[in-house]
Amino acid sequence: MSTEWQYLIVISTYLLIILIYGIYQGRKVKTQSDYSIAGRTLPGWVAALSERSAGESSWALLGLPGYAYAVGLSSVWTAVGCVLGIITAWWLIAWRLRNEAEKYNAETYTDYLAKRFGKNGMLLRAVASSVIVFFFFFYVGAQFLGGGKTFHTLFNIDAAWGTIIIAAIIIPYAVYGGFKSVAYADVLQSIIMITILIVAPIVAFIQLPHTTNVFATSVAEALKNAGTGYTNIIGETSNGLWFGTVIGGISWFFGYLGGQPQLSIRFMAIKNTKHAIIGRNVGIAWTIVAYIGALSIGWLGLAYFGPQGLPDSELVMPRLLVHLFPPIIAALLITGIIAAIMSTADSLLIVSATELSESIIKPYFVKNKNNVLWISRIITVLLALCALLAAFFAPTNLIYTLVGYVWAGIGGTFSVVILCTLFWKKFHSISAIITIFIGISFTIVWISTGMEELFTSRILTFLVAGITAILTTIIIKSNETNIIKN
């Protein structure tokens, strides 16, 4: 059997399993709460694996290994920033946000913000949801595009067909089972991802000294032979660029502090505080192992292929798998890339759809609140199809430009809002609304004017949003009272 057929059989089997499993979990969805937040019954380990899968996307399997391959040891700072952010989120925020969501009976990310603040809560919900839905709509389209390109790169399948395949697998189980199906499907995908990040480095380390026609027989030798820039932990030292390397890497920390709705909703869905502790332990352990594996794959790729051995640094992981394993095993492991893309796409889709449905459409346009589950499903279908059409017809550079605003704009801004909401009693809805407006606007202006090349907006947005939150809370007085309602 040819290599292409082995790849096709493995990938097709995997996609079919995900589709069937997602729909199987969806059969348990009976209420809107089940659809939006899995009835707040997720076991801790499920929430953790789902959150990690959704959070890493193809970053852990393509982006970070590729970055480690391209720059060497200085890639550590990016890993440090991400790992510290994830640990802080699980240790400091997850259980608090879970308890708060239960207290206010919140079923979506912005539903919590609205119910947490009595006065102007509906306005805050509308503003926050509109921002999330707009940017995440293009984010979903970008994931569909990324899936199509991945199919083309790895399996020589036309990118358009690859995009349709990804959408055709995700849409049915996301529409049928909502967040519950998405969360449990992501568990399988998370297991595949971590398996790759453990198995691939171990096998590569064992085989490297015994392999001929490689750039170096050890990682240390590869880094040394590649040039001084690869062995310098702070990166390029001339012209002060080391400062940008270190700060730019650590800046990823700020986006994890409750500011990514697709991750925070998993905290809110955890069954109870005991399971939040289990989730914390699983999530942190997964993260540490995954990031060590991702960095190792990049550096090992340098040893196997050399600094000029790949046309695209982000191909280092799949090329290494193909080099190390028989075709059928390599294909099985490479499914992790597809898994990573799908886990992010389905998470973004369901968050966007539930925010649009629960925070924008139903409160203002639906009078009968008793049987509205079908409305959520219809909105999910329409949003997914629109995102798919955007992937085909919207300018690709526009889609990726808008996605570029998400981590700094959404992550940095909403991290400030969530932190202030959880830890500062004087923080109020007007301050939150102004903070969202200023944070998002600053990110768009900073990046679109090219200032991102001088200093990362991931830190600056967090600082600007933080200063805005503090000043508006102090200057604008409010007598808001919290509300709890179904």
Answer yes or no: is 478 within a domain. Answer: no
For 125, 131, 413, 429, the CA distances from 119, given in Å and listed in that order, are 11, 20, 21, 7
Q: What's the pLDDT tens digit per position in 214-236?
A: 999 999 999 999 987 898 887 66
Domain limits for position 182: 3-395
Distance between CA atoms of 466 and 274, rounded to whole angstroms?
31
Q: How confident is the model at residue 423 (pLDDT cuts 50, 70, 90)?
A: very high
For 48, 107, 332, 455, 457, the CA distances from 265, given in Å and listed in that order, are 11, 9, 30, 30, 24
Answer yes or no: is 390 within a domain. Answer: yes
Q: Say which DSSP state 411 is in.
A: I
Number of Cβ atoms within 10 Å of the Cβ of 426: 12
Greatest distance between any 2 Cα atoms in the chain: 73
Distance between CA atoms of 451 and 370, rounded to whole angstroms?
49
Burial 243-252 (b: 16+ CB within 10 A, else e): ebbbebbbbb
Answer yes or no: is 112 within a domain. Answer: yes
Q: What's the pLDDT tens digit per position in 357-373?
A: 888 887 777 766 666 78
Q: What's the pLDDT tens digit per position in 275-311?
A: 999 999 999 999 999 999 999 999 999 999 999 999 8
Q: Look at residue 181 and tell me whether its pLDDT is greater than 80.
A: yes
Answer yes or no: is 433 within a domain. Answer: no
42: three-class secondary structure by DSSP: strand
Distance between CA atoms of 89 and 146, rounded to whole angstroms?
27
Answer yes or no: is 219 within a domain. Answer: yes
CATH number, domain containing residue 109: 1.20.1730.10
| pTM attached to this predicted model | 0.92
Count of domains forming the chain: 1
Answer yes or no: is 430 within a domain. Answer: no
CB-based contact 291:79 (threshold 8 Å): yes
The sign one gets for the Cα dihedral 128, 130, 131, 132 is positive
Q: Look at residue 133 and tell me whether its pLDDT is greater than 70.
A: yes
Answer yes or no: is 268 within a domain. Answer: yes
Answer yes or no: is 239 within a domain. Answer: yes
Give how far the C-alpha of residue 466 lies from the chain's centroid of Cα atoms, to the nearest Å: 23
* Beta-sheet strands, E only, within 268-324: none
Give how far the C-alpha of residue 17 lies from the chain's centroid of Cα atoms, to the nearest Å: 22
